Amino acid sequence: MVPKASFGSYYGRPVVKASPWQADIPAYLFLGGLAGGSSLLAAGADLTGRPGLRRSCRVTALGALGVSFAALVHDLGRPARFHHMLRVAKFTSPMSVGTWILTAYGPLAALAALSEARDQLPRPLRTGLVGRALPGAGSAAGVLAGVLAPALASYTAVLLADTATPSWHDARHHLPFVFVGSAAAAAGGLGMVNAPLRESGPAQRLAVAGSVLDLAASHHMESSIGLSAEPMRQGRAGAYRRAAQALTAAGALLAAFGARRSRAAAVLSGAALAAGSACTRFAIFHAGQQSATDPRYTVQPQRERLDAGRPVRFEGPAEPA
């Protein structure tokens, strides 16, 4: 328990503003992670000769990517101007970095998935140049997408952390690990759901390891960020968090002990893990929103460091103005 300290405020009004983002953004956090994790599994499946796992993961990645794109555009105040993101490239803006990651990753993931449709092509196309080039192009694109995928799965943590929202910024050390763990759990889970049982070993191992990382990093995060952990346990954030923990833990246990033996167990645990991953993202999202709405989370830590004589000040050498 963090002791309640008195602090001043202006009629209890928030000091920082909560983001204007709606459900689109936590949904994207989930789907971006799912796409990234799936591309990694697909690339591995391709290189190790698991066509069933490869195909399903490529399709999952493209589907998640498509919905992500729609969500990101929909969330804008001026959706018709989404392409203004491509005017600049700024490393101080995780959203700009993410735009460029998606711009590079998207076409590769799409090409990898489309190459799976080769057999559905009309015969002249299938036996022509396009049809013959498609598998090789799909493999190359798939491996490159896999190389970019870890960045896609982890940058979204910086997207949230690079704000003045207390519960996001204070979680900056841990959030990337929570997010990649969550991405691995979701992608492994859906891989288990969609791939044939005899090929789903890597998906199952990724799912279990991802769940463990998600749960461990979340636990570590909550025990080390002090007051900013409080909103994670309250309100909507708390409800999502409890659901995320239950689904992820149950899904991981089932994946570890049943999913290689029975198809039903694989589907059930995979679905639980994907749902758990989505809940993790919604929990973190709402924790941040809640922490921004109550001035205590902004004022109290700042007041404490001021009163302790440790304000944040530049200590470097004086610069001539």
Partner 1 sequence: MTSFANRLFGPLDPATEAGYLDPPTRKGFFTDTSVCIGCKACEVACKEWNAVPEDGISLTGMSYDNSVGLGASTWRHVAFIEQPSGAREHPGEESASFRWLMESDVCKHCTHAACLDVCPTGALMRSEFGTVVVQNDVCNGCGYCVPACPYGVIERREGPKDEPAVGLAQKCTLCYDRLKGDLEPACAKACPTQSIQFGDLDELRVRAKGRVDQLVEAGVSDAQLYGHDPRDGVGGAGAFFLLLDRPEVYGLPPDPVVTTKALPQMWRQAALAAATLLVGSLAAFVERRNR
Residues numbered 52-111 forming contacts with partner 1, rule: CB under 8 A: 75-79, 81-82, 84-85, 87-88, 90-96, 99
Cα(14)–Cα(294) distance, integer angstroms: 5
Q: Which of 74, 75, 6, 66 is nearest to 38 (CA)?
A: 66
Q: How far is the CB of 189 from partner 1 (least distance, A)?
A: 13
Q: Does 267 bind partner 1 (CB under 8 A)?
A: no
- Judged by CB under 8 A, the stretch of 1-9, 102-110, 228-236, 246-254 that binds partner 1 is 1-9
Reading the block at residue 283, the tokens are 């929990």
Q: Does 313 bind partner 1 (CB under 8 A)?
A: yes
First to last CA, the chain: 46
Cα distances from 195 to residues 63, 132, 187, 192, 224, in angstroms, run 16, 25, 12, 6, 39
Are residues 282 and 22 in contact, defined by beta-carbon separation less than 8 angstroms?
Answer: no
Binding mask 223-262 for partner 1 (x = CB under 8 A): ----------------------------------------
Q: Does 198 bind partner 1 (CB under 8 A)?
A: no
Q: How far is the CB of 57 from partner 1 (least distance, A)?
A: 11
Residues 109, 111, 183, 268: which binds partner 1 (CB under 8 A)?
Answer: 183
Cα distances from 104 to residues 101, 111, 173, in angstroms, run 5, 12, 26
Q: How far is the CB of 187 from partner 1 (least distance, A)?
A: 9
Q: Scanning residues 21 to 40, which ones bind partner 1 (CB under 8 A)?
A: 21, 36-37, 40
- Judged by CB under 8 A, the stretch of 14-22, 61-69, 120-128, 278-286 that binds partner 1 is 14-22
Residues 5, 17, 130, 196: which binds partner 1 (CB under 8 A)?
Answer: 17
Are residues 285 and 201 in contact, defined by beta-carbon separation less than 8 angstroms?
Answer: no
Q: How far is the CB of 11 from partner 1 (least distance, A)?
A: 5
Residues 29, 161, 215, 279: which binds partner 1 (CB under 8 A)?
Answer: 161
Q: Does 169 bind partner 1 (CB under 8 A)?
A: yes
Cα(140)–Cα(143) distance, integer angstroms: 5
DSSP notation for 83-109? GGGGG---TT-HHHHHHHHHHHHHHHH
Q: What's at 134, amino acid-wise?
A: L
Residues 270, 276, 292, 294: which binds partner 1 (CB under 8 A)?
Answer: 292
